[in-house]
Amino acid sequence: MKKVLLVVLALIANGALGQITEQAKATGSYIEVVATATETVLPDKILIEVTLKENGKSGAKEPISSQEKQLIKGLDSLNIPSSRLSKEGARTNFVKINWFNEKQISQAVYILELKNSQEISTAFTLFQKLKVEHAILYESTHTQLDSIQEEVEVKAIIAAKNKAKRLVQALGSDLGEPILITQNEPRGNGVYFIDGIKVRGSVQIPNIAYDAPFIEQEPYIEIQKLKIEASILVRFEIK
């Protein structure tokens, strides 16, 4: 019975000692720093919303099917595969002109994927030629966004370590092991997220616009770079 009691007391003592050790670690000296890293890239996936309309303000009178064929043919001539053009939806609206007549307006919306500013320029020139009703930037991003984000996070962690090392050495101490690494990403100030990745740039901002009444003018084309950011908080032990 005494042996059993001694074993139980030993286990309790070991458990208590473990808790004390963990508490000592938690309350030990440490330094906490935040570092930020950024990378700027041009988007390589630009989605343009293209609207075709029959009897719209562009003056195109051909049926939507004919306009679509002309658009696909024109894109092929620019070496832009028609596979990059997807149909977003088709709608038919009836617009009242006067009490006695109705004019049917058929409309179809497409999403066109482009790769760079050169393709954008040639595509918008084609839109002018074909009297496309409307075209606007839908989204821009980068196909390697995840891997770029990983690189930026590593840079931020290295920057945090170097910063902490300088500060600790200034105190005459040595930097220990990291005990906490976490993201420190406040939202706002023009920041938005793509699949959880913090990005600044032109996604879903209509800074590329073409509208039928302005077909005699040069299309306004502006592609902003994507600024990928990582802000990392790291806590290090102080030896």
Domain range holding 78?
A: 44-142+202-223
From CA 220, how far away is CA 137, in angstroms rounded? 11
Q: Is the pTM value of this prediction over 0.85?
A: no
Contact partners, residue 159, CB within 8 Å, separation at least 6: 35, 36, 37
In degrees and rounded to multiples of 5, residue 12 shows phi and psi of -65, -40
From CA 78, how far away is CA 120, in angstroms rounded? 11
pLDDT at residue 113 in the model: 94
Domain containing residue 107: CATH number: 3.30.70.120
- Give the CB-side neighbour count of residue 40, counting CA atoms within 13 A: 5
From CA 150, how far away is CA 9, in angstroms rounded? 49
From CA 108, how far away is CA 85, in angstroms rounded? 12
Q: Is 63 inside a domain boundary?
A: yes
* Sequential pLDDT tens for the chain (239 residues): 433 333 333 333 344 333 433 443 455 799 999 999 999 988 999 999 998 887 766 566 788 888 899 999 999 999 999 999 988 654 444 444 444 455 556 788 899 999 988 898 899 989 988 888 888 888 888 999 889 999 999 999 999 999 999 999 998 999 999 999 998 865 444 444 444 444 454 433 344 555 554 444 555 566 788 888 999 999 999 98
Q: Is 26 inside a domain boundary?
A: no
From CA 145, how far away is CA 199, in angstroms rounded? 10
Q: Is 5 inside a domain boundary?
A: no
pLDDT at residue 117 in the model: 85
Q: Is 189 inside a domain boundary?
A: no
Q: Is 117 inside a domain boundary?
A: yes
